[in-house]
Amino acid sequence: MFCRPISPVPHQELSIIKAYNKLWAPLHKQLFNQPMTAFRFLSKDRMLQQTTFGNGTVITANFGSIVRKVGEGETSLPAGSYQVKIGEGTEVFSLPDMGGT
């Protein structure tokens, strides 16, 4: 969720919002009416998380700063990225560069 005070949105923030929307809007359209059927932490530091939805979609998020191994095939998931499994397909998305410190 992106939250900020009510005022005109600076250009840099608008580009971040657009980047997130481009990445997540198609997925939200598929999942908005699906129940979350499971959630679990996959690492002791809780930075690797996995959510499963009623239609079988599985999203694994690496909120950490290091590459993590995920799943049976030990797929590498870069820091700050998401793995989305829908049916037989799997895609890995990285967050847009936020220009942070």
Summarize pLDDT for 8-52 with one digit per residue, the tens.
666 677 777 887 788 788 888 989 999 999 999 999 999 999 999
Q: Whole-angstrom Cα distance, residue 64 to residue 7?
A: 32
User: What integer pLDDT is reported at residue 26 of this predicted model?
Assistant: 86
User: What integer pLDDT is reported at residue 76 of this predicted model?
Assistant: 87
Q: Whole-angstrom Cα distance, residue 24 to residue 17?
A: 10
Rg (CA), the chain: 15
Question: What is the pLDDT of the chain when averaged over all its residues?
Answer: 81
What are the residues whose beta carbons fall under 8 Å from the beta carbon of 13, sequence distance 6 or more? Answer: 4
70 or 40, which is more confident: 40
User: What integer pLDDT is reported at residue 4 of this predicted model?
Assistant: 53
